[in-house]
Amino acid sequence: MNAFIGEGAGARRPWLTPGRITVLGTGGPDAAWLARWVDAPAWSSEVAGRERPERLVSDRIRVPLAEQADMALLAAAGRELLRYRFYPPAVASALGRFDLEDRLARDGDRVLQRLQILRAFGRPLVEVLSQVELRGLEFGPERWAFGYVTTERHPGRGEWRLRLERDAEARLWLTMTARARPAWGRISGLPGIRWLWRRMMRHYQRRAHRLGIAAFRQRVQALARIETEGGAA
C-alpha cells in the first residue's frame, strides 16, 4: 500500500532512503533543499490508515514539565513549540518557512530537517536531510500543539505531534504521539538491509524522543525562572 499521493508504482525509488544522506555536514544550504523539495507529496493519513497495523510503530509519551504553570508560562512554552525549538542540536536541526519569514509556524509550512543518524567525537558523521509538512497546529488558551506529517523526502512514513496543556491543578504536561515506519529504497530487498535499517531508525527515534523531551523540559524550566525573576523585580 502506498502512503503517498502521487507516489506511483513507476516512480524511481531512491537507493537507500528518500532523504538525502550527507557525510560530515555536507549537502549544501538547508534553505536550498527546503525550496527544492517544496512540492514533494505529503503523507496521506487516510491512505496509510489502510496499511497493516504491524507496519506502523506507535509511541505515546506523557510527561510533566512544571508543577505550577500559569497562562503566561503555557503561552511562552507554546511559542517555543511553534518555532520548533524542541530537539537539541545533537539530535536534529531544522529550518522552516517560518524561520525565513520570522514568524510562528502555520499549518502547511514545510520544514527541512537534518537528522543526525550517527555522531562521533561530538560531531555529526552521517546526517539525513529530510522534509516534513506541518499539520494540526493549535494556539491556546488551554492547549498548544505542534505536529507534522512526513513527505516523500523523508526516511520515514508517518506523523508526529506534540501537545502542551494545563490540568485542573495547573500542572503543565507535554504529550508526544508518533506513528511511523521506515521508507524503503532500492536495496531494501537485499538480505538484512530492512532489518538493519529498521533497527537504526528505531534506535534514532527512541534517542530523539528521550533527548528532545529532556531538552524541552529544560527550556520550559528556564522560561519559568525568567518569569519568576521578572515578577520579583
Whether 101 is in a domain gets the answer yes
Higher pLDDT, residue 60 or 3: 60
Whether 24 is in a domain gets the answer yes
Average pLDDT over residues 42-46: 71
- Residues 88, 86: Cα–Cα separation, whole Å: 7
Given a cut of 60, is residue 54 above it in pLDDT? no
Please give the tally of structural domains in the chain.
1
Band the pLDDT of 6: cuts 50, 70, 90: very low
Are 93 and 83 spatial neighbours (Cβ–Cβ below 8 Å)? Answer: no
Predicted confidence (pLDDT) per residue in 176-190, tens digit: 999 988 887 666 667
CATH number at residue 202: 3.30.530.20
Domain span at 226: 20-232
Are 17 and 185 spatial neighbours (Cβ–Cβ below 8 Å)? Answer: yes
Q: What is the DSSP string of 208-230?
A: HHHHHHHHHHHHHHHHHHHHHHH
Whether 3 is in a domain gets the answer no
Q: What pTM, to 2 d.p., does this model score?
A: 0.83
- Residues 179, 187: Cα–Cα separation, whole Å: 24
